[in-house]
Structure 1
Amino acid sequence: MKQLFVHDFRNAAAGLALAGLSACAVPAGKVKLPPVPAPESRVAQTGIASWYGPGFHGQATASGVIYNQYDLTAAHQTLPLGSRVMVTNLNNGKSIEVRVNDRGPFAKGRIIDLSHAAAQSIDMVGPGTAPVRIEVIEAPYKIHAIRASLDYTLQLGSFAQLENAQQMRDRLQQSFSEIAIVPTQSNNGTYYRVQLGTYSNRAAAEEKARQLAQNGFSVIIMEK
């Protein structure tokens, strides 16, 4: 599981029953991944592609890279960021190689968002969408199948001591039913993440995060 993005929701009026528990930030470890050997057959996915352009140009992507609509890039919900994929427009047979550097699309029924340049190269800017086949050329680590979508959870605390995580869980269980403690290894040892719920899309996770923020929680939205 990896952190997707942080909602730094802190409410000055947070008079919750969680006072006294000090959450510890989990240090980010650096991971160097080995090169992936070429697969015997490419992992593939078929579905509807869309594209995104001027409204997002110049904004940060999920990978931290600034989105440039003139680069050959794409957004995918589950493929590892940095993956290279071949996208083929099934209406005309035209293909383009792109690098996944963002998350999306979040419209129902779509599997990939192409940059304007990538969409233009396979003649789908005008129509806006097209049926495509995605083939993974290279990924940061080996994948056996492309997941259609991600699930999300909300992290409400992270503790170096299991007892503190258990105290937070016990208090939260007075109001919420789906609370879990997830041990996570870091360079500095084991941390215990207190997480709430499972959400099938980011919009639902964000809505719940906003509700929690109004009650003073600091919420981190996580991919499961």
Structure 2
Amino acid sequence: MGAPQGRPARSRRVPHRPRVLDEAVAQAASLRNELHLEFFVTVNVSSVQLHDPGFVDAVRRSLALAGLPPAALVLELTESGSVAEDTIALTRLRGLRALGVRLAIDDFGTGYSSMAYLHSFPVDVLKIDKSFIADLVEGSPDRRLAEELTRLGSSLGLLTIAEGVETEAQHGALDVLGCPLAQGYFYGGALPCDELAASLRVAGTSQRSGSWRSA
């Protein structure tokens, strides 16, 4: 099942704290099995977690216990600048990638998240910072940057997600630019698990009826 083009990235984003990883993975596995939908769950990870020698094994155990496919878990680097030259953290990231877990760079194009780090990180997902999404009118600098970043992600074989989409105009512009996934308040805010399940049930019905386009 392809991801819907120009639609929100169907993920549940949670910070990494004790037991939160287990809970997020278990909930995602349960919903995927119940609804027969393919979506991923995103968990934030910082350099502190990456310095934990047991972190990779903890992720492996969580996936095995829940029965969640590794590719359905995306770990999002929230401090990419502090990780870029950290050999321990990079070793952990490669270990996670070896499990089949996907890795994302947050806020790409700002601060430490730049093209130079694509050479260092074993990354799978590129998240375009919301500052490049604010003004997507024809001919604007933001639109040109968003288009180039979308092309960059595509050329590198990365899944590209636009952050901070708040208006129908932004949604439409990203659709025209070919950005496959987006997230933001235009699609809705964060939801408790039971409300997320209800939303996904509706989404599953819509997709099975053929009202969504595949990316």
Shared fold (TM-score greater than 0.5)? no
What is the TM-score with the length of structure 2 in the denominator? 0.26
What is the TM-score with the length of structure 1 in the denominator? 0.25
Pick the structure with greater CA Rg: 1
Q: Greater relative contact order (Cα 8 A, min sep 6): structure 1 or 2?
A: 1
Higher strand share: 1
